[in-house]
Amino acid sequence: MDLSFIIIEYHCLEEIGPCLAQLQKNSMGTTCEYIITSNSGYSLIIQNRIRKDFPNVQWIFNEKNGGFAYAMNRGIAKATGEVIVLLAPDARVLSDLGPAQRFLHENSKVAVLGPKVVDRQGNVQDSARCFLSPYGLVQRSFLRLIKHRKTILERKFDYNQVQPVDWVIGAFMMVKKSALEKVGMLDEEYFLYVEDMDWCKRFWDNGFQVYYSPDLVVEYEGSRQSTIFLLAKKNPDRYTFLHLRSYLRFVCKHRYFYRKSSGAVT
């Protein structure tokens, strides 16, 4: 198997059909499997109906909503592909995946590859980022507030160039299974947010590289529920506190109290 696509589902069945259609369109010439891991807690009747509606998909109906990493790990455990592709159900692949697969195959040190992410209007999103120190987090939040923007692009980063980066977002992430087996799965202590940054940090710490490729294009526009209060003049909500808790775990786990070099040119 070349590619194992793992899609997380949480009460968003309407997104699955369009997501699969785009994947099938842009993965021709490769052998693929589709694994959908659901945290929705559907009844057995609904589960059986879903399986009939999507006969070419492996469905995993998790016993609880254990978060993003929890769900993805259960999909990874079932995957047989040489490259595992993690993606959100509302992500739409817009380019052929063949070159990205070959890039991973030809570069032994590269374990993770992230795409150029654009919104529906074609605007580039901040999908590849530097590891955030506490100072960097405050600075980023301040810029988002004063510029009144959801997206803050890295100033020293060329989004049209293939290059190593600190980390890429988990909305779409291609990962070599052989490297994953050495580094380990996602950390399930992160319920939501930062698990992607943590994973990329662990790949770097184990001698692998994380790359960004503008030739791989994905349409995705996350809700940014944890930070939208900065723009909407509302009080922080549950998502904000989940994000902050996850970030504090990252800082303490990796002792990342100030900016350090990963080896990436960011």
Q: Model confidence over 93-140: pLDDT tens digits?
A: 999 999 999 999 999 999 999 999 999 999 999 999 999 888 877 776
Model pTM? 0.90
Q: Model confidence over 43-56: pLDDT tens digits?
A: 999 999 999 999 99
In terms of residue numbers, what domain contains 158? 3-132+152-221
Q: What is the CATH number of the domain that holds 161?
A: 3.90.550.10
Q: Model confidence over 212-247: pLDDT tens digits?
A: 999 999 999 875 554 544 455 465 678 888 999 999
Q: What angle do CA 37, 42, 43 make, to 5 degrees?
A: 135
Locate tokens 């990342």: which residue? 256
231 within 8 A of 198, measured Cβ to Cβ: no
Is residue 142 domain-resident? no
pLDDT number for residue 229:
45
Is residue 10 domain-resident? yes
Q: Model confidence over 70-106: pLDDT tens digits?
A: 999 999 999 999 999 999 999 999 999 999 999 999 9
pLDDT number for residue 261:
55
Q: Give the total number of structural domains in the chain.
A: 1
* Residue type at position 65: N
Q: What count of other Cβ atoms lies within 10 Å of the Cβ of residue 236? A: 14
Is residue 171 domain-resident? yes
| Residue 73: its H or E element | helix 68-76
Is residue 254 domain-resident? no
pLDDT tier, 180 (very low <50, low <70, confident <90, very high otherwise): very high
pLDDT number for residue 223:
56
| Residue 172 clears pLDDT 90, i.e. is over it | yes
| Residue 262 clears pLDDT 90, i.e. is over it | no
180 within 8 A of 79, measured Cβ to Cβ: no
Is residue 240 domain-resident? no
pLDDT number for residue 156:
81
Q: Mean pLDDT across the chain, nearest whole number?
A: 90
Is residue 194 domain-resident? yes
Is residue 257 domain-resident? no
Is residue 115 domain-resident? yes
